Amino acid sequence: MNIISNDRFVSLFNRNNSISFSEFKSKARVRVSNGKLVDLNDYVRSGRKVPHDDLHNLFEHIKTRDAYLRRFHNKSLKPTYLNELRKKKPMSKDELNNNSLVQFKNIIRNIHYRDILEHTQSGLDIPSFLTVLKELYYDQIIDYKLLTPSALFYIKQNRIGSVFSTFYFRASILNPYLVYSLNRSLLKGSRIFTPTLGWSSYCYGFLECDDVVEYVGTDVIKSVCEKTRDFARTFYKDKHVSIYCSPSEDLFHKKTFLRKYLEHFDVVFFSPPYYDLEKYPGKDQSTNRYRNYNEWLHGYWLETIQLCYAVLEKGGRLCYILSDYGSDQTGKYYSLVEDMNTIASTFFKKKQILPMYNKNANMTKHRSTDEKIMVFVK
């Protein structure tokens, strides 16, 4: 397992900091809302009110960034001892919260940090977290949101981490503790299939359950497949784990897969893509394969649901997490819950819908936080 340490993470941003404040002001550029770069001095002269002292505070942060980077690693990337999860009391089905015991997300965020913090893009044109940090620390390119009054206020309070986590995009992670709790309190599966890998969090959460003897999952991001396979081999040698690297809709047409797993699993679980809310790397991503939302519903979702039906035993449970989403910024709105549940209901009997409690980390709200846990029965 390749775990990034605190020192190594900080070293990613090592550059010569020996420039004066006046040199910084002359060299720095601002990335404005349309993506173009503007000299900092021209940006300020254009009428933007950026007080001298506030700009100096930002400059001092750049010079002393190691302290923030170490705090970030300790809070968001430092792994928790793995088998601590199985010692935790699972949440009941009425209190499922993706932000309980968030430290169990850290191992996931650590092993996939580049994909989660940088390579996955927002479908709503929100810059990625690591992209903003690299531009700021490497090249003195300041995203314009860092110069807004609210951001400058937090920077003055030495709380720039709140600004970074609020304004910039990080791919979502389903908490392994939530996955663990769902299976212990509700699904009670022993043979699990997941049509996506969820950055390895599904594997982690399910394999911490003593009753789970087999886990099979698939994904289209090669690095995620490899790291999930490595994760399972390293920490769960006593469990039977098979990882495929294929679009879930394609597996429905692979006879060898269907012969092997026909009516084999007692639980199928995942949080499917929220259409184009998050744009993952790779040409086989569902949003790259289908030209529009309707094609995606039938090409990706319908085929995936048919796969789920084929591999579930009679009485087995299909569970997925979903919400609608939209943005005034882009004018795009998708009724994912209604549309995707309608398709699932043609094959499965809807058993229950539970709330999943969450928090919206972005001041610029871009997604409904009213996520639901759907449970269907074959």
Count other C-beta atoms under 10 Å from residue 155's C-beta: 20
- Profile the chain (378 residues) by mean pLDDT over runs of 10 residues: 94 83 95 95 89 95 95 95 89 94 96 95 88 95 96 96 95 96 98 98 97 97 96 96 97 97 98 79 74 92 98 98 75 86 97 84 46 96
Convert the pLDDT of each residue in 199-217 to its tens digit. Answer: 999 999 999 999 999 999 9
Cβ atoms of 319 and 374 within 8 Å: the answer is yes
Element (H, E) at 306: helix 303-311
Q: What local confidence, expressed as pLDDT, does residue 359 receive?
A: 58
CATH topology of domain 176-377: Rossmann fold (3.40.50)
Cβ atoms of 54 and 155 within 8 Å: the answer is yes
Task: Using only the alpha carbons of the chain, give its radius of gyration.
Answer: 22
Contacts of 240 (CB under 8 A, 6+ apart): 213, 214, 215
Q: What local confidence, expressed as pLDDT, does residue 115 receive?
A: 95
Cβ atoms of 356 and 98 within 8 Å: the answer is yes
Convert the pLDDT of each residue in 278-305 to its tens digit. Answer: 777 667 777 778 889 999 999 999 999 9
**Local structure of residue 170 (DSSP, 8 states):** -
Q: At what angle do helices 149-156 and 160-167 cross, to 10 degrees?
A: 140
Q: What local confidence, expressed as pLDDT, does residue 369 receive?
A: 52
Question: What does the domain layout of the chain look like in residue ranges?
Answer: 6-78+127-167, 176-377
Q: What local confidence, expressed as pLDDT, does residue 98 receive?
A: 95
Tokens of 350: 């809807």
Spatial distance between the Cα atoms of 62 and 68, rounded to a whole number of angstroms: 10
Q: Which of 301, 295, 314, 288 is nearest to 342 (CA)?
A: 301
Q: What local confidence, expressed as pLDDT, does residue 101 receive?
A: 95
Contacts of 327 (CB under 8 A, 6+ apart): 124, 333, 366, 367
Q: Which residues pair with 217 in a beta bridge?
A: 194, 243
